[in-house]
């Protein structure tokens, strides 16, 4: 959500749902908000159908397909035989009331929004919701943290402020899950507004030092820390030390925008609903082509769409065409026909309907919006029907590698050498290995491998670095032997409490960076039987091989389970002895703590990610 329009929708809609400030649980049972509503019959085919829209880039394809609020002659929806009246849906409670009473057979929102209303929507077999279409994935939301919070695991025990009931509730749920934390591990402060007031998360974060993290849309994030990869300096209104820990720029499969249809209407009008879905997907294809033309050489039809968008939402929401209207569309990722096929039909899709639907219902119950889990139905579209395959042009898009592997590797190396790896890390954890171990079978590391696969899927635009680490004991022993043999290193004290001096100056063997620099500089070369530089290089080589072996094992494991796993997203590297847990182990037990392979979920620059029309 990079522009004010998305925030206007959330603020206007969700304040009605969850106008709540303070600590504790924000959920209010949705049924009490909707009130006593009489279920009405679904609209009849042949009449003008009301189709709700919200303030979001994915709805611009709906505007394009319809030609305006009323279906225009010659438009995609008109050619499909549809007669629609687009209606504002930013009041989600009223949307649900209209849906239940039969004023419209459709609902528009995010899947988690639908989950919060699930107990009301799905209580009656006539109004049970069928999720007929995934439109987009949402992007542009951010979790900003204070200095001292290095990764998501550090959120334990911290105070986090977010708007009550907004999309950031689900985003926080995803972040906690990735870090293996629960809502009980944090303290939540609920803000009334999303943005633009003292009772919004960004302003509360700015005003209260007891708040450790907040959720913010892009303009507020820039005000807090200066940009996606910046750290607040304290100047120009920024908060000193503040930075983005997680963004939906990386957590790209958290917020799914969907359309829902009443079951009774779908059963009576399956062909009509298919035509609606096909028309929308065709609009996505054409809008993306026009957007590409606009960005390269200009496009009059695309400018017309931007003007139509401004006309529908109003200049208060969309002040400018080039920045706000174009930015609104650029801030969402369409899924297209291939994405809907993957979403609804692939059973092992970790970001498919079944997984996200279950997550949405769990969140609704756990946060108090619903008392019981009332399920939605998945789309019953025949995605291979002629209505799609003979009409759409991008049905054959194949999911390829999303990352530029070499660029990711170079970025990981640059971050590690520059000491900035922690600043880009979202989640980190390790596995251990035995001395001389080179095989990493999935049977021995199943839990950790499943975690890596799940993280990589949810954080579709983040990279996973697999880094091997070695114990420095052998290198240190060879260094001591070589130094004493050359006469440049002196040792005093007793075993277990030795002190060392190099060329008359005290030498602290626990200072790993200084020690490795001296070894690389050749200070201890020249003793054939003890060559610490060769030993250190051998440790680095082994760490690289172990990281590669783990990467290969995870890829094999994922594919054996029938999952799509993007190998380009996961890159291996060796750290050697450069980052030990214990710099100078005194026992084998301590040495084993250094013998590990580390997984880091990393925020990478946009240059490392390949552009594509659809994400699925």
> Which of helix, strand or coil describes residue 135?
strand
Residue at a domain's end among 247, 277, 293: 247
- Count Cα neighbours of 290 within 13 Å in the Cβ-side half-sphere: 19
Beta strands in 117-211 (DSSP E): 129-138, 141-145, 159-163, 187-191
16's enclosing H/E stretch is helix 4-18
Nearest CA to 443 out of 557, 547, 546 is that of 557
8 Å CB contact between 370 and 118: yes
Query: Does residue 15 lie in a domain region?
Result: no
Query: Does residue 392 lie in a domain region?
Result: no
Are residues 275 and 153 part of one domain?
A: no
Are residues 538 and 522 part of one domain?
A: yes
Q: What is the DSSP letter of 325?
A: I
Phi/psi of residue 336, nearest 5 degrees: 65, -170
8 Å CB contact between 355 and 161: no
- What pairs with residue 70 in β-bridges? 85
Contacts of 582-585 with CB under 8 Å at 24 or more apart are 583/472, 583/509, 583/510, 583/511, 583/512, 584/472, 584/476, 584/509, 584/510, 585/471, 585/472, 585/473
Residue 223's pLDDT is 92
Residue 221, token pair as written in the block = 């994030």
User: CA angle 381-58-127, nearest 5°?
Assistant: 45
Q: What is the mean pLDDT of residues 289-304?
A: 97
**Nearby residues of 272 by Cβ (< 8 Å), 6 or more positions away:** 45, 81, 82
* Burial 36-53, CB ≥16 within 10 A → b, else e: eeeeeebbeeeeebbbbb
Query: Does residue 17 lie in a domain region?
Result: no
- Burial (CB count within 10 angstroms: exposed 0-12, middle 13-18, buried 19+), residue 548: middle
What CATH number is associated with residue 305? 3.40.190.10
What is the C-alpha separation between 614 and 120, in angstroms, rounded?
A: 33
Which CA distances in Å does 574 have to 153, 420, 549?
Answer: 23, 16, 12
Residue 611's pLDDT is 85
pLDDT, tens digit, 9 for 90 and up, residues 534-572: 999 999 999 999 999 999 999 999 999 988 899 999 999
What is the C-alpha separation between 235 and 404, in angstroms, rounded?
A: 36
**Nearby residues of 224 by Cβ (< 8 Å), 6 or more positions away:** 144, 202, 205, 206, 214, 216, 232, 238, 239, 242
Residue 26's pLDDT is 56
Are residues 348 and 230 part of one domain?
A: no
Residue at a domain's end among 247, 272, 293: 247
Are residues 322 and 195 part of one domain?
A: no
Number of folded domains in the chain?
Answer: 3
pLDDT, tens digit, 9 for 90 and up, residues 312-364: 999 988 899 998 899 889 888 999 999 999 999 998 899 999 999 999 999 99
8 Å CB contact between 537 and 543: no
Nearest CA to 595 out of 477, 435, 465 is that of 435
pLDDT, tens digit, 9 for 90 and up, residues 203-235: 999 999 999 999 998 888 999 999 988 999 999
Looking at per-residue pLDDT, the higher value among 1 and 495 belongs to: 495
pLDDT band at 409 (very low <50, low <70, confident <90, very high): very high
pLDDT, tens digit, 9 for 90 and up, residues 69-87: 999 999 999 999 999 999 9
Residue 239's pLDDT is 97
Are residues 535 and 432 part of one domain?
A: yes
Q: What is the DSSP letter of 40?
A: -
Query: Does residue 23 lie in a domain region?
Result: no
What CATH number is associated with residue 459? 3.30.1330.60
pLDDT band at 400 (very low <50, low <70, confident <90, very high): confident
**Nearby residues of 504 by Cβ (< 8 Å), 6 or more positions away:** none
Are residues 473 and 328 part of one domain?
A: no
Are residues 403 and 366 part of one domain?
A: no
What is the C-alpha separation between 544 and 547, in angstroms, rounded?
A: 5
Query: Does residue 9 lie in a domain region?
Result: no
Mean pLDDT, the chain, as a whole number? Answer: 92
Are residues 189 and 99 part of one domain?
A: no
Are residues 602 and 546 part of one domain?
A: yes
Residue at a domain's end among 214, 247, 280: 247
Query: Does residue 32 lie in a domain region?
Result: no
Residue 197's pLDDT is 87
Residue 335, token pair as written in the block = 């899924």
Nearest CA to 250 out of 405, 543, 459 is that of 459
C-alpha of 388 from chain center: 30
User: CA angle 554-558-559, nearest 5°?
Assistant: 120
What is the C-alpha separation between 265 and 363, in angstroms, rounded?
A: 28
Residue 165's pLDDT is 63
Domain limits for position 317: 38-137+258-387
Are residues 114 and 147 part of one domain?
A: no
Are residues 602 and 483 part of one domain?
A: yes
Query: Does residue 414 lie in a domain region?
Result: yes
Are residues 451 and 349 part of one domain?
A: no
Query: Does residue 275 lie in a domain region?
Result: yes
């Amino acid at each position: 959500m990079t522009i004010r329009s998305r925030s206007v929708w959330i603020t206007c809609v969700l304040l009605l749902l969850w106008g709540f400030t303070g600590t504790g649980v924000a959920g209010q049972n949705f049924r009490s908000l909707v009130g006593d509503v009489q279920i009405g019959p679904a609209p009849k085919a042949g009449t003008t159908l009301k189709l709700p829209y919200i303030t979001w880039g994915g709805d611009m394809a709906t505007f394009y397909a319809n030609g305006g609020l009323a279906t225009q002659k010659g438009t995609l929806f008109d050619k499909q035989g549809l007669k629609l009246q687009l209606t504002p849906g930013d009041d989600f409670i009223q949307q649900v009331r209209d849906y239940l009473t039969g004023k419209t057979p459709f609902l528009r929102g995010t899947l988690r929004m639908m989950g919060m209303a699930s107990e009301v929507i799905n209580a009656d077999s006539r109004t049970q919701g069928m999720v007929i279409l995934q439109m987009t994935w949402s992007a542009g939301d951010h979790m900003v943290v204070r200095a001292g919070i290095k990764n998501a695991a550090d959120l334990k025990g911290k105070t986090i402020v977010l708007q009550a009931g907004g999309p950031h509730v689900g985003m926080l749920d995803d972040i906690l899950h990735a870090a293996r934390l629960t809502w009980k591990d944090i303290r939540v402060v609920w803000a009334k507004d999303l943005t633009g007031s003292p009772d919004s998360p960004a302003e509360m974060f700015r005003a209260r030092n007891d708040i450790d993290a907040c959720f913010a849309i892009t303009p507020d994030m820039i005000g807090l820390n200066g940009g996606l990869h910046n750290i607040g300096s304290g100047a120009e209104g920024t908060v000193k030390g503040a930075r983005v820990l997680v963004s939906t720029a990386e957590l790209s499969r958290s917020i799914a925008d969907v359309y829902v249809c009443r079951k009774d209407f779908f059963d009576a009008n399956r062909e009509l609903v298919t035509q609606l879905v096909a028309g929308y997907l065709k609009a996505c294809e054409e809008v993306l082509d026009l957007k590409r033309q606009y960005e390269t050489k200009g496009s009059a039809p695309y400018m017309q769409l931007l003007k139509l968008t401004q006309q529908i939402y109003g200049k208060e929401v969309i002040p400018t065409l080039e920045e706000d209207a174009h930015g609104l569309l650029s801030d969402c990722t369409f899924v297209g026909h291939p994405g809907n096929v993957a979403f609804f039909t692939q059973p092992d899709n970790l970001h498919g309907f079944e997984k996200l639907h279950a997550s949405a219902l769990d969140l609704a119950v756990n946060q108090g919006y619903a008392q019981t889990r009332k399920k939605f139905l998945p789309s019953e579209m025949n995605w291979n029907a002629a209505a799609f395959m003979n009409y759409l042009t991008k049905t054959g898009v194949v999911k390829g590698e999303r990352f530029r592997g070499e660029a990711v590797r170079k970025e990981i190396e640059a971050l590690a050498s520059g000491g900035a790896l922690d600043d880009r890390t979202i989640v980190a954890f390790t596995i251990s290995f035995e001395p001389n171990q080179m095989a990493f079978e999935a049977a021995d590391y199943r839990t950790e491998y499943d975690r890596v696969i799940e993280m990589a899927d949810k954080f579709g635009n983040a990279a996973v670095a697999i880094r091997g680490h070695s114990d420095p004991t052998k290198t240190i022993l060879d260094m001591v032997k070589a130094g004493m043999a050359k006469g440049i290193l002196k040792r005093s004290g007793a075993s277990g409490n030795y002190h060392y001096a190099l060329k008359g100056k005290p030498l602290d063997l626990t200072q790993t960076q200084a020690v490795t620099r001296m070894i690389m500089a050749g200070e201890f070369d020249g003793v054939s039987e003890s060559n610490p530089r060769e030993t250190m290089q051998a440790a680095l080589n082994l760490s690289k091989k172990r990281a590669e072996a783990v990467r290969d094992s995870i890829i094999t494991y994922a594919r054996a389970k029938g999952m799509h796993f993007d190998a380009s997203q996961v890159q291996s590297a060796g750290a050697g002895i450069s980052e030990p847990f214990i710099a100078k182990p005194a026992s084998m037990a301590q040495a084993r703590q250094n013998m590990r392979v580390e997984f880091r979920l990393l925020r990478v620059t946009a240059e490392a990610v390949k552009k594509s029309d659809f994400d699925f």
